[in-house]
Structure 1
Amino acid sequence: MQDPAAGHLATQATSSFTEHLQRSRPELLPFNQTLPAGHIPPVPHGTTIVALSYPGGVLVAGDRRATMGNVIASRHIEKVFPADEYSVLGIAGTAGLAIDIIRLFQVELEHYEKIEGTLLSLDGKANRLGAMIRGNLGMAMQGLAVIPLFAGFDLVSGVGRLFSYDVTGGRYEEIEHHSVGSGSVFARGALKKLWRPNLTEDEAVAVAMEALYDAADDDSATGGPDPVRQLWPVVYTVNRAGARRISERELAAVAGSIVESRAVAGREA
C-alpha cells in the first residue's frame, strides 16, 4: 500500500526551489524578513551596472564601490555574478539583500536542472528572476530596492540577450545595451556613443570600461578603475562557450589604454 506521506511529498514536489521554501520555510527567503519598526538606518548600496550585446554574446560589468549615504562603504564589493553556465546578472541597490537574491537565484537554476534534468530556457530564467524581484516589492517600498540586469546566451536562437527590471519585477528585453544604478545616466550616454553592432568581444570590454569610467567621473557613488589599489570592475562575457570572467590583467591593460588616450586628448586640447 502506498505511503500517504510519500504521496503528499510527491504532490508537493516542484522544480522551483523558491516555491519550495515559500511552502516549507518562508522565513528563510531574503524578502520575507521582518524589518524593525521605525526608521531604517543607512545600509550599503551597490551602484552602477552596464550591459551590452555584441555579435555572438553579451557582456555585464559593474564597478566595485558600495556607498552608505555619503560614505564609501566598500571599494571592493562585487556586484556581477554568474547565475549558471550560460547567464550572468549584476545587481544595483541594497547590497546585502541583492547578494542574498543572487544566491537564491543561483540555487533556483541549479535545483531546476537537477529536478528536470535539463537547463531552464533563458526566457524561463528571466521570468523567475522577475518573480523574485516582485517578491521583494514590500522591502523596496521601505527603501530596500534591488534592481538587476540579467544577460545570457540563448542556446535556442544562438544569440545573447539582455533583460532589465523594475522594482515590481517587470521584465524588459534590451536590444543593444542598458545600465542601472546611480551612475546609469552617465554610463548610458557613453554606451549610446560607443556601442555599434559589429563590436568584437575585446572592443565590447573596452566600451563597458569607458562607460563605467564616464559614470565614475560624474557620479560620486560609482568607483572607476583604480590603478593605485589595483582595483578593476568585474566584467563577465557570455557566449556559446559559456560565461567567462575577464581577468584583472586584461582589465588593467584596457584601463591603462583608456587613461592614456584621455591624457593625450587632454594635452592636445
Structure 2
Amino acid sequence: MTAGFDSHYLSSTTNSFLTFAQQAAPEVLPRPTAGIAQVPQAPEGTTIVSFKTGHGVLMAGDRRATMGNVIASHTIEKVHAADSRSVIGIAGAAGLALELIRLFQLELEHYEKIEGTPLSLDGKANRLAAMLRANLGLAMQGLAVVPLFAGVEPGSEAGRLFSFDVTGGKYEEVNFHSIGSGSGFARGSLKKLWHPQLEDGAAVRVAIEALIDAADDDSATGGPDFMRSIAPVVHLADASGVRRVPESEVLDIASAVVAARAEGDRS
C-alpha cells in the first residue's frame, strides 16, 4: 500500500462521493445524535423561488435565517450553483442545509471526475433524493432540510425544476415552484407574474416581486435590505452555464419594484 493513503483511496471505484465518504471517513457526514429525540432549536432559512425562463431557469432566495422569533442572520446565502448547469436552494435547518449543498456539489464533481461526463439532470436529482433519504434520521430529530433543484441539460435551453420532501421523494414541477415558510405567498405572486418567455431582466424582476410579496406576509422571509445593501441571491442557468446576478443589479431592480408599488403601479 502506498504510504500515507488509506486503502479506501486506492481501491474504491464508486462514482458516488457520498458512498466513498461513508466508507473512508463516515465522521465527516451529518448523522443523527444518539440518545437525543429532539435536537435544540437551530437557525432556519426560507424562502426559495424558482421558475423556467425563455432561455433556462432562475432560482432566487431571500437572505434571512430565523430561530423562533429571532432573526439569526440577515446575510445567509441559500441558493448556490450545484455545478456548471444547475442550481440548488434549500430551506430548513440552515447549518445542515449548507452542509448538504457542499456535499451535493462534491457528489456531482466526483461523479464527473470518475466517469468523465456529467450526470443528466434526472441523475443529479436522483442523487439529491438519495442524500435526503440518508438524512432522514436528522429530519426526524427536527433538523429537516427541503431542497429545490433546477437546471438545463448541456446544449439545451429547456429548463427543468425538481422539488423534494424530507423522505427523499422527488417531484418534477411544471413551470415554477417555491419552498419555505413564505412559499405560499411567493407562488401566489408567480401565478400572476410568470410567463414562459421571460427574458433575464424581466425574470429577475418577477423573482424579486415574489420574494417581496412573501416578505410582506411571512415574518421569516426577508425582503431586499436597502439600508445594509443586502439583496436576495439570484442565479440564472442556461445553455452558457450558471451565473449569479450581481447584488447591485438585484438592488436596482428591487428599488424599481418598491418605487412602482409606492406609486400604485405594478407594471
Q: State the distance in 1 between where 2:103 and 2:182 align.
A: 26
Say if 1:8 and 1:148 are closer, same or farther in 2 by CA, change over 3 A.
Answer: closer
In structure 1, what is the equivalent of residue 3 of structure 2? none
Q: Is the 8 A contact 1:27 1:33 kept in 2?
A: no
Superposed, which structure 2 residues align to 1:44-193 within 5 Å? Answer: 44-155=43-154, 158-193=157-192
Deviation per CA, 1:107-152, whole angstroms, max 9, x where unpaired?
1111111111111111111110111011111111111100000011
Letter in 2 for 1:15: N
Q: Which runs of 5+ in 1 are unaligned?
A: 1-6
Q: State the distance in 2 between where 1:177 and 1:102 align.
A: 21
1:39 shift after superposition: 4.5
Give the TM-score, by structure 2 length. 0.93
1:35 shift after superposition: 5.0
Say if 1:9 and 1:95 are closer, same or farther in 2 by CA, change over 3 A.
Answer: closer
> How much is the aligned-residue C-alpha RMSD, in angstroms?
1.9
Letter in 2 for 1:233: P
Q: Is the 8 A contact 1:80 1:236 kept in 2?
A: yes
Identity score, percent: 61
Q: Which runs of 5+ in 2 are unaligned?
A: 1-6
Q: Is the 8 A contact 1:64 1:234 kept in 2?
A: yes
The number of aligned residues is 260
Q: State the distance in 2 between where 1:8 and 1:134 align.
A: 24
Q: Is the 8 A contact 2:38 2:142 kept in 1?
A: no
Letter in 1 for 2:26: P
In structure 2, what is the equivalent of residue 3 of structure 1? none
1:97 shift after superposition: 0.4
Q: Is the 8 A contact 2:79 2:88 kept in 1?
A: yes
Give the TM-score, by structure 1 length. 0.92
Say if 1:229 and 1:13 are closer, same or farther in 2 by CA, change over 3 A.
Answer: same
Say if 1:41 and 1:234 are closer, same or farther in 2 by CA, change over 3 A.
Answer: same
- Secondary structure at 2:159 match in 1: strand
Q: Is the 8 A contact 1:46 1:65 kept in 2?
A: yes
- Secondary structure at 2:229 match in 1: coil
In structure 2, what is the equivalent of residue 22 of structure 1? 22
